[in-house]
Amino acid sequence: QATATVDISMDDNTFPSPDVQRQDRPSLTCILPAYNEAENLGRLIPELTAYLQRFSDQIELLVIDDGSRDATVAVAAALVDEYPVTVLQLSRNFGKEAALSAGIDHAEGEVVLLMDADGQHPLEAIDQFFHHWRQGYDMVFGVRDNRADESAAKRHLTNLFYKVLSRSAEIDIHPDAGDFRLLDRRVVLALRQLPERSRMMKGLYAWVGFPSKAVTFTVAPRMGGTSNFRLRHLSSLALTGFTSFSSAPLRVWMLIGAGISVLSLLYAFLIVMRTLLFGSDVPGWPTIAAGIAFLGGIQLFSVGILGEYIARIFSEVKARPLYLVSRRHSFRDRTTATDT
């Protein structure tokens, strides 16, 4: 075997197992989380079905309706007659992470594809996904080649977030990777074993590991409708990312506390010396007030961080389901209905 220098970068630091056997035309489930995507599904699903037939003869498009407030369900359910579509209607809007989890729980394919329902993920990238899967990678993920479509503020915050997270967490998450990916059944089964309530899927993909490969793609503009992610959403997802993959925020206070204690000791020593040498004078309250305010701030902040972790522990302990499915429309049911 060659001992060539191998570029072990963060995106593909793994190699496929040499002995993998891949089927020629595996069964395929494509998970499409959809929140107010009525405009887009009618166009995406025919295109997608036609495209996926290159890779598989057993296709299922699993549309997860995440409590949409428009005609998403009606549009998707109407497509059941003509296309291999199954619609899982969640009982309310649970968020994209929960919708994806619902998809992963219900996907039966040998290969599972995760894709946005708004047409922003280019179908051509799927060729590459399958190419690498055939070579033995269990997970192939899309990495966006630029973020020009996003606001500068969002770009900077995202960058900062991944920089800090990768320093403090025990896993490496590719900053430009997203939910556009191909999962082998092995990865799907692994993801189903993760029971946590507060989820950041990107962290979980990284956590389960498996030979993975990055593929770059260019994000297309939305077919129609508007993006549903507001800053508030993203910041709460960022917080989930931190608290579920890193305990650094809890630990950093030990260091800060120790640092402040050492400084205060030095300062106390200074005061004692000064009093001994020059006698005492009453003034000095500004220093005391400033010290108290500073420490008070730090204490409240660290209590807040404790609260954040405790809130997550609370939500894990309640162990509520991640999502509830209220209805299901499937091409499978239809076929049986016409047969009998």
For residue 224, what is the DSSP state?
S
Q: Is residue 118 involved in binding Mg ion (CB under 5 A)?
A: yes
Least distance from C-beta 128 to ligand UDP, angstroms? 20
| Three-state SS at 327 | strand
List the single partner that 99 binds among Mg ion, ligand UDP, none, CB under 5 to 8 Å by kind: ligand UDP
> Which residues, in sequence order, are bridge partners of residue 239?
none
What DSSP string describes 10-33?
Answer: SS------TT----SS--EEEEEE
Considering the complex, state which of residue 41 and residue 110 has its C-beta at the smaller distance from ligand UDP.
Answer: 41
Say whether residue 166 binds ligand UDP (CB under 6 A): no
> Closest Cα partner for 183 from 125, 107, 99, 95?
107
Best CA proximity match to 201, nearest among 323, 100, 67: 100
Q: Closer CB to ligand UDP, residue 20 or residue 105?
A: 105
Question: Of 228, 247, 302, 330, which lies in the binding site for ligand UDP, with binding defined by CB under 6 A?
Answer: 228
Should residue 33 be labelled a site residue for ligand UDP when binding is judged by CB under 6 A?
yes
> Which of the ranges 108-116, 152-160, 238-246, 311-319 carries the binding residues for Mg ion, by CB under 5 A?
108-116
Nearest approach, Cβ of 68 to ligand UDP (angstroms)?
8
Q: Give the binding-site size for ligand UDP (rule: CB under 6 A).
A: 16
Q: How far is the CB of 52 from ligand UDP (least distance, A)?
A: 17
Residue in 120, 240, 243, 244 binding Mg ion, rule: CB under 5 A: 120
Using CB under 5 A as the binding rule, whether residue 40 contacts Mg ion is answered as no
36 sits near Mg ion (criterion: CB under 5 A): no
CA distance 126 to 130: 6
Instruction: Determine, following the binding rule CB under 6 A, whether residue 35 of this chain makes contact with ligand UDP.
Output: yes
Contact assessment for residue 140 and residue 112, using Cβ atoms and an 8 Å cutoff: no
Of 181 and 329, nearer to Mg ion (C-beta) is: 181
List the x/- string, 100-119, binding to ligand UDP by CB under 6 A.
----------------xxx-
Nearest to 113 by CA among 93, 94, 128, 98: 128
183 belongs to the binding site for ligand UDP (CB under 6 A): no
- For β-strands 85-90 and 59-65, DSSP reports them as parallel
Q: Give the integer Cα–Cα distance in Å for 126 and 121.
A: 9
- Give whichever of 116 and 138 is closer to Mg ion, judged by the CB atom: 116
Tokens 């503009």 -> residue: 221
Among 96, 132, 144, 202, binds ligand UDP (CB under 6 A): 96
Query: What string of H, E and C letters represents the secondary structure of 140-151?
Result: EEEEECCCCCCC
Strands 139-144 and 212-217: parallel
C-alpha distances (whole Å) from 143 to each of 32, 125, 180, 219 are 18, 10, 8, 9
The residues that touch Mg ion, with contacts defined as CB under 5 A, are 116, 118, 120
For ligand UDP, the binding residues (CB under 6 A) are: 33-35, 37, 66, 93, 95-96, 99, 116-118, 120, 227-229
